[in-house]
Chains A and B, each alone.
Chain A
Amino acid sequence: MPLAVELAAVRFGYDPRRPVLEDVSLAIPEGQFVAVAGPNGGGKTTLSRLTVGLDQPQAGSVRLFGGPVDTASRRGLVGYLPQRAQLGIEAPATVREVVSAGRVTRRRLLGPLTAADRDAVVAAIARVGLIEQADRPVTSLSGGQQQRAFIAKAIVAQPRLLILDEPTTGVDADAQDALAALLARLHGELHVTVLYVSHEFGAVEHVAERLLLVRGGIAFDGSPAELPERWHDPSHAHA
């Protein structure tokens, strides 16, 4: 199976003398659903930022689909839901406008949306179950619905790798279960590689194929069945 994500001996620290991640190597085959969890400050968000190219490793390398990260980005292969996703905009953006923004790629940078773009936007909104809210401002929706809108934005360009960083922050338990079910369905329908990063595995533990526990490095890497009982809550993931 070709690899979607490859990290080789990666080292990174915001203060280079105190690395957040040290000697991290990881290989994720295309199509796999991977959930990443770990204690606060353990480096899981850093791992996702390194993977999408928002931070650069101080040692080692990161490759996506066999090539450099920026090449995969330029080819529109990566969909990303950042931590605490929120609108960086004062104007009241509708769900349709937010999702449409995901159709802007380097190859489709100029000019208005095409009919194919508009169809893809509607399809993405329908996939996350927000058709009735399509023309409502995102800020008028519940936390769970807002996350669905941002997931629609992340998938609308039909990426092959979907990275979600703490998508359940501020979302109630029911909405977390619904989000896990949605991601399982999207994974099955779109055949996309999913890298789901959260402070705990939660409901996603039951839909992910592989779990990673990150605490300065990879503390656990295996199937949900192999996860030791004491690490189901990763805040207890001591050395």
Chain B
Amino acid sequence: MLDHEFMRLAFGAGAVVGVLAPAVGFFLVQRRMSLIGDGIGHVAFAGVALGYLLGIAPVATALVASVAGAIAVEWLRANRRTAGDQALALLFYTGIAAGVVIISSAGALNANLFSLLFGSILTVTRGGLLLVAVMGGAGLALIAVLYRALVAVALDEEGARVSGLPVGTLNVVVAGLAGVTIALSMRIVGILLIAALMVLPVTAAGRVAHSVAWTFALAMAIGLGSVFVGLTISYYADLAPGGAIVLVAAGAYVAAAAGARLAARA
């Protein structure tokens, strides 16, 4: 399998995505904003469509659209301009509608689009891997530096404000990281499924871990394992990798939940 360069590229990009998605998703799940990834994914779709229309690399336009959408949702939530679920709904439907309108006017309703929606192991290029590695590495480094502050805000947002932490800025950082993660992950997992890789490993880890730090570390391990196993299944069974990866992550959640139940009985 690894004799093929496209698989080596897919595994390389997948390794970064498998770690980055749960690392960012951890802070979304803790703040009970698990579905924001889906909303941003829909905006990323509009960004991809705009890329096709303008003849620009879709990843670049998706990156800009995702980060802008994520920050917009955070702004709406923080300023209580609208309820959190309403802000998400606005993002969901506007993003997908704009994407469909733009992509149909660009005449790009084709297989390339399908691969971005659900992932494809054939679409990762050397340049794409470099982009994922650099931006993903920068995102993980940022999380490492801000980890304590991000956890403090997740634990008690008002307490963090009283302690003088720049809570608004930290929340925008998390939203921006979510946008970057989605744009970087769409080649491997697909726009419509990436949110699952941000959420499922975290919820699985939360069932068996006994601390925040272990939940965070275990979530990244489950994310990485899901990507590797999912890509392998995808190669041998000729399946869309996004679906395979997410089903493996869902399986990890079922196994963790069962393990936790057994441990509680013991």
Cα A75 to Cα B206 with chains together (Å): 34
Cα A154 to Cα B156 with chains together (Å): 11
Counting contact residues on chain B (CB < 8 A from A), the size range is 20 to 34
Cα A129 to Cα B152 with chains together (Å): 22
Interface flag for B2 (CB, 8 Å) = no
Interface flag for B80 (CB, 8 Å) = no
Interface flag for A73 (CB, 8 Å) = yes
B161 to chain A, nearest CB (A): 6
Interface flag for B212 (CB, 8 Å) = yes
How many A-B pairs with Cβ below 8 Å?
115
Most buried by A among B152, B161, B162, B215: B162
Cα A93 to Cα B151 with chains together (Å): 10
Interface flag for A116 (CB, 8 Å) = no
CB–CB A92/B209 < 8 A: yes
Interface flag for A233 (CB, 8 Å) = no
Most buried by B among A53, A89, A110, A135: A89
Q: Which of A5-13, A21-29, A76-84 is the contact stretch?
A: A76-84
Cross-interface CB contact of B156 among A85, A92, A100, cutoff 8 Å: A85
CB–CB A90/B152 < 8 A: no
- Residue ID in chain A nearest B27 by CB atoms: A89
Cross-interface CB contact of B148 among A53, A98, A101, cutoff 8 Å: A101
CB–CB B206/A73 < 8 A: no
B206 CB contacts on chain A under 8 angstroms: 90-92
B170 to chain A, nearest CB (A): 9
CB–CB B212/A89 < 8 A: yes
Cα A82 to Cα B158 with chains together (Å): 8
Cα A239 to Cα B234 with chains together (Å): 74
- Residue ID in chain A nearest B216 by CB atoms: A91
CB–CB A52/B162 < 8 A: yes
- Residue ID in chain A nearest B209 by CB atoms: A92
CB–CB B156/A111 < 8 A: no
B238 to chain A, nearest CB (A): 37
A137 CB contacts on chain B under 8 angstroms: 210-211
A70 CB contacts on chain B under 8 angstroms: 164
Cα A102 to Cα B162 with chains together (Å): 11
Q: Which of B28-36, B49-57, B113-121, B128-136 is the contact stretch?
A: B28-36
Cross-interface CB contact of A106 among B154, B165, B215, B216, cutoff 8 Å: B165
Counting contact residues on chain A (CB < 8 A from B), the size range is 35 or more
A88-B155, A90-B29, A110-B146 in contact; A53/B211 too (CB < 8 A)?
no
- Residue ID in chain A nearest B147 by CB atoms: A112
A81 CB contacts on chain B under 8 angstroms: 159
Interface flag for B221 (CB, 8 Å) = no
A20 to chain B, nearest CB (A): 18
A105 to chain B, nearest CB (A): 6
Interface flag for A118 (CB, 8 Å) = no
CB–CB B30/A53 < 8 A: no
- Residue ID in chain A nearest B26 by CB atoms: A91
B172 CB contacts on chain A under 8 angstroms: none
A91-B212, A92-B212 in contact; A105/B164 too (CB < 8 A)?
yes
* Contact mask for chain A residues 136-169; partner B; CB cutoff 8 A; 1 contact, 0 none: 0100000000000000011001000000000000
CB–CB A73/B156 < 8 A: no
CB–CB A88/B156 < 8 A: yes
Most buried by A among B145, B154, B156, B161: B156
B21 to chain A, nearest CB (A): 17
Interface flag for A173 (CB, 8 Å) = no
CB–CB B148/A102 < 8 A: no
27 A-B pairs whose Cβ atoms sit less than 8 Å apart in the complex: A73-B161, A76-B164, A79-B162, A80-B159, A88-B157, A89-B30, A89-B151, A90-B203, A90-B206, A91-B212, A94-B210, A97-B213, A98-B155, A101-B148, A101-B151, A101-B155, A101-B159, A102-B163, A104-B152, A104-B165, A105-B163, A106-B164, A109-B146, A110-B146, A135-B211, A137-B211, A153-B159
Question: 7 closest Cβ contacts across the A-B interface?
Answer: A73-B164, A74-B164, A101-B152, A91-B215, A80-B162, A104-B152, A106-B164
Q: A82-B159, A92-B210, A105-B163 are in contact. List 6 more A-B contacts (CB 8 A).
A: A73-B163, A80-B159, A88-B154, A92-B209, A93-B211, A102-B163
